[in-house]
């Protein structure tokens, strides 16, 4: 949550966005019926902060929404 981004921050971002945006998790999202990180504001804030980094936006692009897992 500081000024530097760690591997742990990127890992957390990847996990959260995978569940939120890939088609393979639709069944889980149907059961939960909300954003899986909704009850975890710190986790959601870290994922959002990492996802807002320009270098990561350029690298990730649409990978999560295009992934078929």
pLDDT for the residue numbered 68: 63
pLDDT for the residue numbered 19: 84
CA 44 from centroid of its chain's CA atoms: 8
CB 62 within 8 A of CB 17: no
pLDDT for the residue numbered 2: 63
What totals of helices (H) and strands (E) does the chain contain, helices first? 5, 0
| pLDDT tier for residue 69 given thresholds of 50, 70 and 90 | low
pLDDT for the residue numbered 61: 81
Q: Is the pLDDT of residue 36 over 80?
A: no
Average pLDDT for 23-38: 77
């Amino acid at each position: 949550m500081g000024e530097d981004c760690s591997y742990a921050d990127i890992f957390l971002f990847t996990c959260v966005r995978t569940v939120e945006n890939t088609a393979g998790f639709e069944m889980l999202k149907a059961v939960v019926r909300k954003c899986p990180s909704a009850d975890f504001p710190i986790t959601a804030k870290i994922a959002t902060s990492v996802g807002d980094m320009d270098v990561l936006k350029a690298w990730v692009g649409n990978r999560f929404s295009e992934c078929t897992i």
